[in-house]
Structure 1
Amino acid sequence: MNRSTHHGFELPRLTSLIRHALPRFIEGAVAPVAIFYAAFALLGLNGGLVAAVAWVYGGIAWRYWRGHGVPALMFLAAAGVTVRAVLAAVTGSPVVYFLQPTLGTLVVGATFLASVPLGRPLAQKLAADMVPLPEAFMKHERVRQFFLRISLLWSMVFFANALISLWMLFNESLGAFLWMRTSMVTVLGAAAVAVSILGFKRVLRHVSGEPATGVTG
């Protein structure tokens, strides 16, 4: 008996992905900026720092109260925000508070870039962590080439994000930095996500139409 298997599987609709990601983006990127800047304008630097820290720990408490699990990354984020807030309060400089994550973005960009010549694209690892992808599909040469290109794309996005953020941080007012950076991150991130999803769907259509090696039994 000949049995042919296919690499096909169903990718969630783009609208479903957006509905899933949008609340997390607002919670993690937009709301902290709005809360920090509002408290900073009304209460000064220390007030803004307290509000930012309270937002993160409030999110953890809310999840516990709702009976939802708290991701380990959220605890790491809370620890990072706490350290940044303490350093900014001690130095009296809001620049210190925003410098660390910007430098972290540079490191992430370098990690994506380094994964390309090593032939182990970081984008592929992250995709496999988020979506259950068949092993045969992931080993396909066209799929590997796609993830190499996407890893290079995301490295450029992170580098652009970090370098422009550093320039704005030291040359613009805090208010301009916060809102311009948030807008820039949103636009660059949305464009990179759109390119990634559309490219992945194109690869998926191509690979799904190819039968895997037949098995005779």
Structure 2
Amino acid sequence: MRRVALSLLIACVIPATLFYGCFRVYGVWTAIIVAMCWSYGAIAWRALTGRRTSGLLLLTALLITARTAISLAAGSTFLYFLQPIISDALVGTAFLVSLATARPMVARLAGDFYPMDDELHLRPRIQRLFRNLTVLWATLCLIKAGLTLWLLQSTSLDTFVLVKSVSALSINMLAAGATIGLAVLVARKEGLLHTVVPIPATV
């Protein structure tokens, strides 16, 4: 749970908070640059301190760099906000396509959150968990893409940024909670979590 919370905090919550704060005070272009700098700063800090960089953080940095470069080249903030819609649709599709392979997408990312070896990966319950979570996150990405597209077309920029920031974080946190709950349930069935038995008090 600590790994999941930390990964989401660094890759999603802090950049979104920085973006909205800078957007309200300094404008959209400053917010865009600050959000990108945060992602690379987090990667550099983990590298300098010898910590493993999560796949989620790398994916976030890659996507935000592409969004920023295209938006700056075109001089269009609309493109910046349109690209996450396309990205979510592509990521959701990639998750669905990965179900046809031996290692669905969640199985490839699981090592970011829990130390995994080959024996653990091959357990039937673990494999079912990976497939179920891949379906969950694929569905989530596709729903987010549709919701964000509707917001972008039907609201002002100020409203869009606020609603998108709150709704995206809320959806991600709910999905993370469901992911943790399912993972804990399977981990208990597999004997990966050990209950601490209290020592009886002596008289």
Query: Normalising to structure 2: TM-score of the pair?
Result: 0.72
Q: 1:137 aligns with which of 112, 116, 120?
A: 120
Stretches of structure 1 that go unaligned for 5 or more consecutive residues are: 1-16, 210-217
1:78, distance to aligned residue in structure 2 (A): 5.2
CA displacement, residues 5-40 of structure 1 (integer Å, 9 cap, x when unaligned): xxxxxxxxxxxx24x554554444344344444444
Q: CA RMSD in A?
A: 3.3
**Does the aligned pair in 2 maintain the 1:33–1:178 contact within 8 Å?**
no
CA displacement, residues 114-147 of structure 1 (integer Å, 9 cap, x when unaligned): 1224353221221135422243332122221222
Change (3 A) 1:47 1:23: same
Change (3 A) 1:202 1:177: same
**For residue 78 of structure 2, what is the aligned residue in structure 1?**
95
Instruction: Provide the identity percentage.
Output: 26
Tell me the amino acid that sits aligned with residue 192 of structure 1: A
**For residue 15 of structure 2, what is the aligned residue in structure 1?**
32
Matched, 1:192 2:166: no
**Does the aligned pair in 2 maintain the 1:119–1:148 contact within 8 Å?**
no
C-alpha distance in 1 between matches for 2:42 and 2:121: 35
Stretches of structure 2 that go unaligned for 5 or more consecutive residues are: 193-203
**Does the aligned pair in 2 maintain the 1:165–1:181 contact within 8 Å?**
yes
1:82, distance to aligned residue in structure 2 (A): 4.7
C-alpha distance in 2 between matches for 1:80 and 1:27: 15
Matched, 1:160 2:143: yes
Q: How many residues align?
A: 190
CA displacement, residues 36-62 of structure 1 (integer Å, 9 cap, x when unaligned): 44444455444444444454455567x
Tell me the amino acid that sits aligned with residue 127 of structure 2: R
Larger of the two Rg values belongs to structure: 1
Change (3 A) 1:147 1:94: same
1:72, distance to aligned residue in structure 2 (A): 8.9
- Equivalent residues in 2 for 1:1-217, closer than 5 Å: 17-18=1-2, 20-22=3-5, 24-56=7-39, 59=42, 63=45, 67-69=48-50, 71=53, 81-208=64-191
**Does the aligned pair in 2 maintain the 1:84–1:97 contact within 8 Å?**
yes
C-alpha distance in 2 between matches for 1:193 and 1:26: 11
1:109, distance to aligned residue in structure 2 (A): 0.8
Structure showing greater relative contact order (alpha-carbon pairs closer than 8 Å, 6 or more residues apart): 1
SS at structure 2 position matched to 1:120 = coil
Change (3 A) 1:127 1:163: same
Change (3 A) 1:151 1:69: same
SS at structure 2 position matched to 1:208 = coil
> 139-148 or 41-50: which moved more?
41-50
C-alpha distance in 1 between matches for 2:133 and 2:100: 13
